[in-house]
Structure 1
């Protein structure tokens, strides 16, 4: 059995928005790593996070009920979940701050339409 890894990188920043893409395996240790990575990117002017999860696979040992721990606290924050597996998207959409997009094109349309 190999070590699970996750890579988180910023692809774009514009105004209040940050587009973050992740790749790898989401499990208990990498969930914590990704959470802290998102927390580090929160500043006063950055309140909308587009989380591109197209290249993320959730480990079966990580229950969907644990997924909301991925998101940093903050009522002013909004999370746009892009391309997540259905169970992952459903678990994150339970948080009122989240909106899910099935693909990059639909998320990009929303991103582009904002000032």
Structure 2
């Protein structure tokens, strides 16, 4: 069995909005890495994180409990999830802070519609 890796890149920052793209394999250890990367990008309680997951592979052994620790805590934080697979969308959809975009174009439309 190989070692799971993940790469996290910041693609854009505008005011309280941050667009982050992740690629690699999302599993137990890499959920924690991605979580800490997201936490480091939270500027204040009203940060909006655009999380592009289109190039992410999912470890089949990833449990819903492990996934629940992915997003940083904060009632006023907002997460725009781009391209999440249906198997993991359901647990994330329970979080009222999340909105989902099927592709980058719809997420970009939401990004550009917001005031800086």
TM-score class normalised by the smaller sequence: over 0.9
Structure 1 residue aligned with 2:79: 79
Contact 1:65 1:91 in 2 (8 A): no
> TM-score normalised to the size of structure 2?
0.93
> TM-score normalised to the size of structure 1?
0.94
Ranges in structure 2 where 5+ consecutive residues have no aligned partner: none
User: What count of residue pairs does the alignment treat as equivalent?
Assistant: 115
Secondary structure at the counterpart of residue 23 of structure 1: strand
CA RMSD between the two structures: 1.3
After TM superposition, give the deviation of residue 67 of structure 1 in Å. Answer: 1.4
The superposition leaves residues 58-77 of structure 1 with CA deviations (integer Å, 9 ceiling, x where unpaired) of: 10000234312100000110
Mapping for residues 1-115 of structure 1, pairs under 5 Å: 1-44=1-44, 47-115=47-115
The superposition leaves residues 7-36 of structure 1 with CA deviations (integer Å, 9 ceiling, x where unpaired) of: 111000012100000000000000011101
**4+ aligned runs moved over 6 Å, structure 1:** none
Contact 1:16 1:45 in 2 (8 A): no
The superposition leaves residues 35-60 of structure 1 with CA deviations (integer Å, 9 ceiling, x where unpaired) of: 01111111227610000000011100
Contact 1:18 1:46 in 2 (8 A): no
